[in-house]
Amino acid sequence: MFLFGEIVNDNMVLSAHGRIALSEWFKSSEIRQEIKLHHDEFVIMPNHIHGIVWIASEEKSLTVDSTRHSNITGKETNLSVRAHGRAPLQADHTTFHRQPKSLSSFVAGYKAAVTKRINQLRDTPSSPVWNRNYHDRIIRNDRELNAIREYIRDNPLRWELDRENPKQRSPSHHP
């Protein structure tokens, strides 16, 4: 079984670790007033998450795909996101800090909170839960927003075809 749970009859059944990931996602918007999160814009999968993060101070919405098992690299955006343990590496990586009220700050805080609670539950201090990177993109219009909402909502239905699903990987596809 995966860390966050499993797909049963096209529905995600959360493990205790998955319930932590869910509660910390929405707790994050209570802690960070500039962040707005909506239930229909977030899904936990067996080994990764998908969500839309609204950053009110930036007046932008962004998607976040984060994974436990695979290295998904971030795309370059016009946000000042710099590399650190939980953010994508950008072309200019001379400084390694997070800007307050940024997507990278949000993701770092979320991943840290989930990691801390899962490691307390497992009694595995300092064990990694997430991969280093995440994938982000700016949502530019309502058409994109609606398409991404649908993608998030329908993600459990497509798990059998998902490249993150190890059942889709054959030994010849491993690097």
Q: Which tens digit of pLDDT belongs to each residue from 146-160?
A: 999 999 999 999 998
CB under 8 A, 24+ apart: contacts of 165-169: 165/46
pLDDT band at 169 (very low <50, low <70, confident <90, very high): low
Residue 175 belongs to some domain of the structure? no
Q: Which residues of 11-39 are buried (b: 16+ CB within 10 A; e: fewer)?
A: ebeebebbebbbebbeebbeebeebebee
Residue 111 belongs to some domain of the structure? yes
Q: State mean pLDDT over 111-115.
A: 95
Specify the residue for token string 């795909």.
65
Residue 170 belongs to some domain of the structure? no
The total number of structural domains in the chain stands at: 1
Instruction: Look at 80 and 15; give whichever has higher pLDDT.
Output: 15
Residue 167 belongs to some domain of the structure? no
Q: Which of 28-37, 53-62, 132-141, 142-151 has the highest mean pLDDT?
A: 142-151
Quick check: 84 pLDDT over 50?
A: no
Residue 169 belongs to some domain of the structure? no
Quick check: 130 pLDDT over 80?
A: yes
Question: What predicted TM-score, i.e. pTM, was given to this entire model?
Answer: 0.74
Domain of 143 in residue numbering reads as: 5-160
Residue 80 belongs to some domain of the structure? yes
